[in-house]
Amino acid sequence: MIGYGFMGAAHSVGWRQAPAVFALPDAVEMAVLVGRNASAVADAAAQWGWQETATDWREVIERDDIDIVDIVTPGDSHAEIAIAALRAGKHVIVEKPMANTVAEAEAMAAAATEARERGIRSMVGFTYRRVPAVTLLRDLLAAGKVGTVQQIRATYRQDWLVDPEMPLAWRLQKEHAGSGALGDIGAHIIDMTQFVTGSDVERVSGTVETIVKRRPVQGAGSGLSGTAGEGYGDVTVDDLAIFTGRLDSGALVSFEASRFATGRKNALTIEVSGDRGALRFDLEDLNVLHFYDRTVDPALQGFTRILVTEAEHPYVAAWWPAGHMLGYEHGFVHQAKDFIEAIAAGEDPHPSFEEGVRVQRVLDAVERSAAAESRWVGVH
């Protein structure tokens, strides 16, 4: 695994727990953790269970004993590492958003296509697809439970940047992160919408806003571009993105991605409305799916709360008895399971790099629309 920040911890839980919970077709060894700071990466490896550490990812991907490369670095290095790893014959999983630009994502997808001919697999880490309630939502839509989908509302709202004295970080600089709330959390709701509906976003109209434009820089060794390590530095990405999308099915979607939604800690929600019913999910209550059935007696209509903890539900049978809750980290366990199973079966896992490109094109279209006074623009 290359990188050892927040996502490094989450992915490590996935790699460590998947073999213990699921009967995987192959053994998993957490071989090498890679990071530029030798001391910090050694501490992370000891805590998370990695066998050894390295500071040069280029050397590690050439090793014969490495089969999978997991990339959890900032977005500005995804393309270089992923393409090199694929060419070295390694299966690759990369965190979302897949890249910082459409061109980078397309280059990664081209490398993945070439590697596929040699049996090499690749996947993008949109882990919320693997929350059991979200997978169940997708399954119920595919089974026609809400009829024809007419409208979707997808939001991802957090509040960790409301304090204007929150220090400048790499996620707030375009050269490292690509975009702000739009790419960081907006990518999730774009992918989730396309995943659960089976339809692609065709065009968008949106706006983005940077609410706090300068933030304090802490420490001379911050590593942030264009800063001296003290004083204040420029925020070069968005804090808030609100946009409308039209799917290729004709349905309309309202999207909101905000890191300034005071009181919302990690509120990813999606509600899908059809002519026969509706489905609603909220990540802050991630074991629950709400279902409204218009076909029943009007006197009995209302949203039904489904507790997604039964053995019949996606992924759940491997875990605990009915009614025992799962948490945020379980999605990463399911992600590791699905990736290992796809590799062993010689099948392409999902979301593929091609699916990652489609999300990247939507992000790009939103930025182009915002720059053109929120005009409708096509996704291409």
User: Is 1 contained in some domain?
Assistant: no
User: Is 309 contained in some domain?
Assistant: yes
Of 127, 148, 165, at which residue does a domain stop?
127
Supply the pLDDT for residue 265.
Answer: 97
Of 75, 110, 127, at which residue does a domain stop?
127
220 and 179, same structural domain? yes
359 and 293, same structural domain? yes
351 and 227, same structural domain? yes
142 and 114, same structural domain? no
Q: Tell me, what CATH number does 109's domain have?
A: 3.40.50.720
User: Is 376 contained in some domain?
Assistant: no
User: Is 378 contained in some domain?
Assistant: no
How does residue 220 score in pLDDT terms, banded at 50, 70 and 90? very low
Of 104, 127, 150, at which residue does a domain stop?
127
User: Is 82 contained in some domain?
Assistant: yes
189 and 74, same structural domain? no
281 and 310, same structural domain? yes
Distance of alpha carbon 134 from alpha carbon 376, whole angstroms: 29
Supply the pLDDT for residue 109.
Answer: 98
144 and 68, same structural domain? no
When mean pLDDT is compared across 72-76, 230-234, 322-326, 368-372, the lowest value belongs to 230-234
120 and 155, same structural domain? no
143 and 286, same structural domain? yes
Supply the pLDDT for residue 177.
Answer: 87
Distance of alpha carbon 244 from alpha carbon 261, whole angstroms: 19
CB contact at 8 A, 318 and 331: no
pTM beyond 0.75, yes or no: yes
User: Is 365 contained in some domain?
Assistant: yes
Domain interval for residue 194: 131-371
Total domains present in the chain: 2
307 and 167, same structural domain? yes
Supply the pLDDT for residue 184.
Answer: 95
Q: Tell me, what CATH number does 162's domain have?
A: 3.30.360.10
What's the rounded mean pLDDT across residues 23-42?
A: 97
Mean model confidence pLDDT for the chain: 96
Neighbours of 302 (CB within 10 A): 10
CB contact at 8 A, 316 and 132: yes
User: Is 377 contained in some domain?
Assistant: no
User: Is 379 contained in some domain?
Assistant: no
65 and 105, same structural domain? yes
164 and 121, same structural domain? no
What's the rounded mean pLDDT across residues 288-310?
A: 97
Supply the pLDDT for residue 229.
Answer: 56
How does residue 226 score in pLDDT terms, banded at 50, 70 and 90? low
How does residue 155 score in pLDDT terms, banded at 50, 70 and 90? very high
Place of tokens 């006197």: 299
